[in-house]
Chains A and B, each alone.
Chain A
């Protein structure tokens, strides 16, 4: 993936790690409602953002994702009550930390998106895809061996 040049038909690959109860259903809704969004996203479903280990984000980046998106229930709406509040703390730290070591901040993204927000899901995917496209293919932390 790294060897594909930004100019010759490179398409960003984005890993979306999402909560089963909201964003995943939101993606479903977007599909059912035939709302168009870029096909660059690969969805990984977990039971709750509280279950998303920050390592998954870093691992995805190492394995060749050009961008990562983590999305869960809006604050106050977590199926397990507090999973997303805990996740918010972890990812606030992670986002700052990855920028600090010199990774491009726009490669890691966090958002909330509920089951009824099909429109918003499409908008988020569009937005993240554009941000990552602007950065070009990931070079940092990408495993080549």
Chain B
């Protein structure tokens, strides 16, 4: 990954120096060991702050949308002759690029507002798995060593195999290389075990109705409605989200468990054909709610029913924005 990092810095520097982009969205070292955090680089000299490795978690498409929509809003108040264009460069791996595709398909901005700096991806470290591997010990220092992670805690030093702590969505990722890019930093990464992507959903489907309901209510019972999952989601960009809508109010805010269950049903259902399984929502959830089990089901059904994989191809039409006359209708009640 070192070469990839070098290439990203070079390209970012060039893009900024040549004024091809106004900002590059990427990752920089975080303040805690083994973390990275999103960064916005506007000066060529700052490009050396960019990093890229298994500690880079968040889907950066979120910030691309934030920047471009804020710019669009601001430009509304500007005289026509003074209007300025803003171009965003973004470090994009597979899932990020798919989210960009979705935002483009949903006409959030134009392809020329974007320079996609594609990166190959081998997956990122799931903080919660790491916590379990270290039995909750605080990480004092750490480094990535090819196939593993070397961590120092107060209990001593430990080596962990990367595969043991990679996020579930990364382990079975089908698109770990960008689906669109203007530049590519490095060669494509080797394929992941994508043939197993629906393994968990398949197993869950085999449970009884009561077992499934018990799991759903248990998971949603943990949720504290902080909305971090929504805020991290690159497909959640509505100006007024239904959760804040008060006239009429869609979801209640009482302590009744069904309010939270309904919130989750509605939000996840918003992701039909729009969830790329980047795992951002899961990584930010403070309560460890298993959102993936539910989002992945919607992904599986959209594939089964409409042959759709969210954001996989620019030419695709979002599955709920189109139809076929012979779409399956075996669920229609016909007495």
Contacts and interface: CB of A to CB of B under 8 A. Distances in A.
Contacts, number: 118
A88 B329 contact: yes
A51 interface: no
B258 A141 contact: yes
Interface in B283-330: 294, 297-298, 301-302, 305-306, 319-325, 327-329
Interface in B245-296: 250, 252, 254-256, 258-259, 261-262, 265-266, 268-269, 272, 294
Contacts of A59: 250, 262
Contacts of A103: 209, 213
A123 B329 CA distance: 19
B83 interface: no
B320 A92 contact: no
B323 A97 contact: no
A89 B319 contact: yes
Contacts of B323: 82, 85-86, 88-89
Given A88-B323, A93-B302, A103-B213, A128 B262 contact: no
Given A85-B323, A93-B302, A102-B216, 11 more contacts: A75-B325, A76-B325, A82-B323, A90-B320, A93-B298, A93-B301, A97-B268, A101-B216, A101-B294, A110-B332, A126-B335
Contacts of B322: 86
- List the 10 closest A-B pairs by CB distance, nearest first: A102-B213, A102-B212, A85-B323, A145-B256, A127-B335, A101-B216, A111-B333, A143-B258, A123-B335, A95-B331
A125 to B, nearest CB: 9
Contact of A141 (B261, B301, B328): B261
B211 interface: yes
Contacts of B266: 55, 58
A58 B327 contact: no
A110 B331 CA distance: 7
Interface class of chain B by DSSP = helix
A94 B265 CA distance: 10
B205 interface: yes
A79 B211 CA distance: 42
A62 B262 contact: yes
B293 to A, nearest CB: 9
Given A93-B301, A102-B210, A102-B215, A141 B262 contact: yes
A93 B305 contact: yes
Interface string A50-76: 000011001100100000010000011
B214 interface: yes
A32 B116 CA distance: 63
Contacts of B327: 85, 88-89, 92
A137 to B, nearest CB: 15
A46 interface: no
Interface string A97-126: 111111110000111100000001001101
Nearest to B330: A92
Interface string A4-26: 00000000000000000000000
B265 to A, nearest CB: 6
A37 to B, nearest CB: 12
Given A88-B323, A111-B333, A97 B298 contact: yes
Given A86-B320, A140-B213, A92 B305 contact: yes
B216 A94 contact: no
B289 to A, nearest CB: 13
Contacts of A89: 305-306, 319-320, 323, 327
A144 interface: yes
A96 interface: yes
Contacts of B332: 88, 110-112
Contact of B333 (A55, A75, A109, A145): A109
